[in-house]
Chains A and B, each alone.
Chain A
Amino acid sequence: MADIGSSTIIGLVVVSLIVIFTIVRITRKISREGALLTETDREKLGMQLKNLKKTWKVFRSNRLGFTGFIVLAIFVVMAIFAPWLSTVPNPDHYTNFEENRFVDGVAVLLNPLPPSLTPSSYTGLIHPFGTDYKGEDVYSDVVYGTRASLMVGFIATFISIGMGAVIGLAAGYFGRVADEILMRLTDFFLVLPWFPLMIVLMTVLDQKFIYVILVIGITSWPSTARIVRSQVLTLKERQFIERAKAIGASDRHIIGKHILPNTMPLIFANTVLLIAIAIFSEAFLDFFGLGDPSVISWGSMLESAYSNGAVAQGAWWWIIPPGAAIIILILAFSLVGNALDDVLNPKLRRR
């Protein structure tokens, strides 16, 4: 599990950057205004809270989106509490090979075992979803696989949104040459078929979990860049930007205080949809045999099922659970994404 380790390091770096950033902001604020919370801040916070409550209420009224949200919450819980929820403490090292017993001196291959709720006679463990050909518990693998999927989904999307937002902002705000160059670049990457591109990059690189995340992240940014750019272009023509410019606000101030907050809803709704695509891509790469072999994931479960003859043996329990998990997770993200799109971008709200 060494490569889960390296992505944990990235996570730690990101978290510590956020922490440092927050500390710097707080100290600067205190040195400037003498207090962390002034009266205007309190008012602003109250308004924001009220807005958030309203947004949440609209979101809740969207039945499909809310269902998706609950499903997501279940998956997150599953990922965090995987060791307690699975029947086997460490599915990667645990195998049920004792089940290959000798009957009258002949080895009888009992794996993959069909699902049953009666404990295995040898180990006393229950295999609710059966086992695969190595005797690994399918249920535990599915529970653990949630971790890889969610991790790829969140980190890869973070990378791709970051790149897309920066490029889109720069192109839309500065216009002219920057716009021309950046948009030609975006168009070029948009036209490149990205499934083959991911395959090529993964073949050229090592098969490490961290590379899977990076490759998915850096191949999926162009659509975000396009969306952000078009939003920035319409924002730039609005009056309040002109007014800010008239009182002499710097580019940095305008982008940070006016443009970015106004593109945020769009970016956020797009993020959730991109997560679904990232999870899809991860499963695809794993299934293609380009994932990290040391990480338990749904895609690699399906890959091993496919290449070890699950089809010929009719071992449906080896294919259906990870497959269903992928579908449900992607569906949940799509539902939440569409609902957020409706709530946060009311202009696009469907009639």
Chain B
Amino acid sequence: MDMRTYIVRKLIYLVITFFAIIIFNFFLFRVLPGDPARAFIGRGISEDVAFLIRDRFHLNDPWYVQLYYYMADTLRLDFGVTGSLNAGTSIGYLLEPRIVNTLILVGIGTILAIYFGVLLGRFAAWRRGRPADTIGMAFALTFYSMPTFLFALVLLLVFGGMLQWFPTRGAYGSLPWTDIPPDYRFMDLFEKLVSRGYHLVLPLLAFTLEIMAEFALIMRNSLTDVLTEDYITTARAKGLSNKMVLKNHAMRNAMLPVVTVTAISIGWVLGGTIMVEMVFSYEGLGKLTWDAVGARDLPLLQALFLIMAVAVLIANLIADIVYTMLDPRVKI
């Protein structure tokens, strides 16, 4: 199968799943009893007003008409307004800055985690059975077993609460070492970057170490498997140096499971983001989810769930494509 058919097929599958997710999301929130108009406005409104509000949100129509409106609005990226958290705010307006914040955290964190995770796994696999391997894997296994929110909490306790080296909340804010801390809005670009970086240290550390552990474990297992293959022995027999064997023969094959697991664990990554953002009050999608749950704001939660599901879908597609490009057996 050539690459183009493969990608086209994946894309068709992606579109079908996308619509399935929209429909699923629509029904997921309709199992809840109660009148949304009442929940939106509160009690004590007259029947006429309630009718008008219901009419405004198409709630008087049968469910399939509502589904049509929901799909049409979603495709136009119109997520409606919030229910109880700052009632009536446009959800799109709320989401925008938070998506940026989350992408900064997840993007940098994932790249760091893959890089160092692969490095650690390679280090351990190459020294299999020696103390360095045991220590490295014990370290990885501990982090793997530790819920992200727990590690984040411990970091917050030690570096935020006890030592007070880093801020305990927010994605940006004033800097403590300046004489008169200026408001974030009035900072120049450099100061803004410093402020963001300073606030990012702890969340990024928590996120990266957690995700890294998984990559390290998989990398180690996959590489120890590959290193016992015959072609590695052949490569050694040819007189190649250790570095060459590892770089040109072992790593490329050992990377494949890492890519697969990346695709599977994107859901986990998302969970990690939610926990880290919540603990550090880092204003991203995860923190917004927490706020939405706290306020029982269902429209906002619905939009958030959709965005996260679609993000996972796209990430899966990218992982699939990367896999086919890496796999030496799939030559086009």
Establish whether residues B150 and A327, one from each chain, have CB atoms under 8 Å apart when the complex forms. yes
B111 CB within 8 Å of chain A: no
CA distance A323 to B29 in the complex (A): 33
A312 CB within 8 Å of chain B: yes
Q: Interface-forming stretch among A15-23, A52-60, A171-179, A197-205?
A: A197-205
Establish whether residues B153 and A311, one from each chain, have CB atoms under 8 Å apart when the complex forms. yes
A248 CB within 8 Å of chain B: no
Note all chain A residues with C-beta closer than 8 A to B298.
Answer: 203-204
Name B266's closest neighbour in chain A (CB-CB).
Answer: A193
Question: Per a CB cutoff under 8 Å, which of B156, B157, B162, B301 touches A200?
Answer: B301
Question: Per a CB cutoff under 8 Å, which of A195, A316, A350 touches B271?
Answer: A195
B75 CB within 8 Å of chain A: no
Closest CB in chain A relative to B232 CB, distance in Å: 12
Establish whether residues B29 and A204, one from each chain, have CB atoms under 8 Å apart when the complex forms. yes
B108 CB within 8 Å of chain A: no
CA distance A191 to B267 in the complex (A): 8
* Pairs across A and B, CB under 8 Å, 30 listed: A187-B17, A192-B24, A192-B312, A193-B266, A194-B267, A196-B270, A196-B309, A203-B296, A203-B301, A204-B31, A283-B150, A284-B147, A284-B271, A284-B275, A287-B275, A288-B293, A311-B161, A313-B161, A314-B161, A314-B162, A320-B154, A323-B150, A327-B142, A330-B145, A331-B141, A331-B145, A334-B141, A350-B221, A350-B224, A350-B225
Note all chain B residues with C-beta closer than 8 A to A82.
Answer: none
Note all chain B residues with C-beta closer than 8 A to A287.
Answer: 147, 149, 275
Establish whether residues A316 and B150, one from each chain, have CB atoms under 8 Å apart when the complex forms. no
A156 CB within 8 Å of chain B: no
Note all chain B residues with C-beta closer than 8 A to A201.
Answer: 28
CA distance A280 to B271 in the complex (A): 11
Name A316's closest neighbour in chain B (CB-CB).
Answer: B157
Establish whether residues B274 and A196, one from each chain, have CB atoms under 8 Å apart when the complex forms. yes
Question: Per a CB cutoff under 8 Å, which of B20, B142, B228, B305 touches A331?
Answer: B142
CA distance A289 to B290 in the complex (A): 9
Closest CB in chain A relative to B94 CB, distance in Å: 17
CA distance A201 to B302 in the complex (A): 11
CA distance A290 to B20 in the complex (A): 27
The residues of B with any CB-CB pair to A shorter than 8 Å are: 17, 20-21, 24, 28-29, 31-32, 141-142, 144-147, 149-150, 153-154, 156-157, 160-162, 168, 221, 224-225, 228, 264, 266-268, 270-271, 274-275, 278-279, 289-290, 293-294, 296, 298, 301-302, 304-305, 308-309, 311-313, 316
A-B pairs, top 10 by smallest CB distance, nearest first, are A195-B271, A331-B145, A311-B161, A330-B145, A193-B267, A323-B150, A193-B312, A196-B308, A193-B270, A351-B228
CA distance A289 to B275 in the complex (A): 12
CA distance A329 to B219 in the complex (A): 25
Note all chain B residues with C-beta closer than 8 A to A193.
Answer: 266-267, 270-271, 308-309, 311-312
Beyond A188-B24, A192-B312, A316-B162, list 6 extra A-B contacts (CB 8 Å): A194-B267, A200-B302, A204-B28, A276-B145, A284-B271, A320-B154
A78 CB within 8 Å of chain B: no
Closest CB in chain B relative to A181 CB, distance in Å: 13
Closest CB in chain B relative to A149 CB, distance in Å: 12
Establish whether residues B225 and A306, one from each chain, have CB atoms under 8 Å apart when the complex forms. no
Note all chain B residues with C-beta closer than 8 A to A203.
Answer: 293, 296, 298, 301
Note all chain B residues with C-beta closer than 8 A to A306.
Answer: 153, 279
Note all chain A residues with C-beta closer than 8 A to B304.
Answer: 196
Establish whether residues A302 and B224, one from each chain, have CB atoms under 8 Å apart when the complex forms. no
Q: Is the interface of B mostly helix, strand, loop or mixed?
A: helix
Name A194's closest neighbour in chain B (CB-CB).
Answer: B267
Closest CB in chain A relative to B135 CB, distance in Å: 14
Note all chain B residues with C-beta closer than 8 A to A311.
Answer: 153, 156-157, 160-161, 168
Note all chain A residues with C-beta closer than 8 A to B31.
Answer: 204
A210 CB within 8 Å of chain B: no
Closest CB in chain B relative to A62 CB, distance in Å: 15
CA distance A195 to B276 in the complex (A): 13
Closest CB in chain B relative to A222 CB, distance in Å: 11
Establish whether residues B150 and A326, one from each chain, have CB atoms under 8 Å apart when the complex forms. yes
Whether A323 contacts B154 in the complex (CB less than 8 A), given A192-B21, A200-B305, comes out as: yes
Question: Per a CB cutoff under 8 Å, which of A194, A283, A314, A331 touches B157?
Answer: A314
Note all chain B residues with C-beta closer than 8 A to A314.
Answer: 157, 161-162
CA distance A199 to B301 in the complex (A): 9
A113 CB within 8 Å of chain B: no
Establish whether residues B154 and A319, one from each chain, have CB atoms under 8 Å apart when the complex forms. yes
CA distance A54 to B34 in the complex (A): 59
A310 CB within 8 Å of chain B: yes
Closest CB in chain A relative to B311 CB, distance in Å: 8
Whether A204 contacts B32 in the complex (CB less than 8 A), given A197-B305, A280-B147, comes out as: yes
Note all chain A residues with C-beta closer than 8 A to B160.
Answer: 311
CA distance A321 to B141 in the complex (A): 19
* Residues 200-220 of chain A, each 1 if its beta carbon lies under 8 Å from chain B, else 0: 110110000000000000000
Name B267's closest neighbour in chain A (CB-CB).
Answer: A193
CA distance A101 to B316 in the complex (A): 58
- Quick one: which of B20, B150, B278, B309 has the most chain A CB within 10 A? B150
Establish whether residues A196 and B289, one from each chain, have CB atoms under 8 Å apart when the complex forms. yes
CA distance A334 to B298 in the complex (A): 36
Note all chain B residues with C-beta closer than 8 A to A288.
Answer: 274, 278, 290, 293
CA distance A331 to B266 in the complex (A): 22
